[in-house]
Homo-oligomer: A and B are copies of this chain.
């Protein structure tokens, strides 16, 4: 049976080195005012005892209250899009000596609230947040207490903080215009839950494109609330069964694009452009044209904003919009152009 040895403290190191705890503190933190041979004795005692400083106690006492920890709250960490973002945030944090706590919300306001409360109770210095559709009033107190907040991927309603998004609306507009430019007029919209901000934006872009060609929205061709591949596949089947079926499809995320692919022939006369690039999209038959966004840039931008806030930037909240890119691969393509 394993025996638990009490972790050594500065007091133990001090005793072993024949100095005071204060001197150990100075030596460990690399502060000046410790003579070389004292430092060496302390160093020796530290190695002998296997001492490691307790950073929680340190953070508690320090004047300049910093835990060097940030929280990252995303919709779903298993989603490759957020995984890339998380990795990017982690790299920025690592560069600055910060740690990252992660939490997934599943897009449930209640879980978001729980996760954030647990983070602020640990005195995180900042939060990078993919907000749910719920209210965020509970952030007011922590923010007054000095916790910085940056939203990413979507804005939080009624929360005046730095926000990093992509030009969802313009990207969608470009995608649908591409289809219109190839002569399509009956273009179906297959989207996720309409209460998600990005989905509303993409739908607006879809309407923009139709309007600029003088086409009115046909409600029969618009499907919201598709949560899975099978939802998407079912929606496609319905659309194809219509008296006037669509000749082209606009899908608003990778999951829906993939679900729809399963209902298409190889090749298929129906054209398709989807939001979100993903690996192998260029190897599918037919190859998939996409509106591509860059999760790594999203994460890095959000992290940089957050750290400048943590470093004391008190200017007005900023809103950064990153650009999407239309990658044409399907029929009418000028060749696969991937980064």
Contacts and interface: CB of A to CB of B under 8 A. Distances in A.
Contacts of A84: 78
A99 B77 contact: no
Given A54-B121, A142-B52, A77 B87 contact: yes
Interface in A108-157: 111, 115, 117-123, 140-142, 144-146
Main SS of chain A's interface residues? mixed
Nearest to A86: B77
A141 B314 contact: no
B52 A121 contact: yes
A83 B88 CA distance: 13
Contacts of A320: none
A102 B103 contact: no
Contacts of A144: 3-5, 50
Given A78-B86, A86-B102, A97-B118, 19 more contacts: A1-B314, A4-B144, A50-B141, A53-B121, A55-B123, A56-B59, A57-B60, A60-B60, A69-B101, A78-B80, A83-B86, A94-B111, A99-B101, A99-B122, A102-B102, A262-B283, A278-B279, A280-B283, A285-B285
A258 interface: yes
A185 interface: no
A227 interface: no
Interface of A: 1-7, 50, 52-57, 59-60, 67, 69, 76-80, 82-84, 86-88, 90-91, 94, 97, 99-104, 111, 115, 117-123, 140-142, 144-146, 258, 261-262, 266, 278-280, 283-285, 314
A78 B77 CA distance: 10
Contacts of A60: 54, 56-57, 60
11 contacts: A2-B314, A52-B117, A52-B121, A54-B121, A56-B59, A69-B101, A77-B90, A78-B84, A86-B102, A94-B111, A100-B103
B80 A120 contact: no
A209 to B, nearest CB: 28
A4 B258 contact: no
A67 B56 contact: yes
A97 to B, nearest CB: 8
A126 to B, nearest CB: 14
Contacts of A314: 1-2
Given A2-B314, A83-B83, A87-B76, A56 B283 contact: no
Given A86-B78, A90-B103, A99-B119, A4 B261 contact: no
Contacts of A121: 52-55
Contact of A83 (B77, B117, B261): B77
Contacts of A119: 99
A5 to B, nearest CB: 5
Nearest to A254: B279
B99 A87 contact: no
Contacts of A88: 78
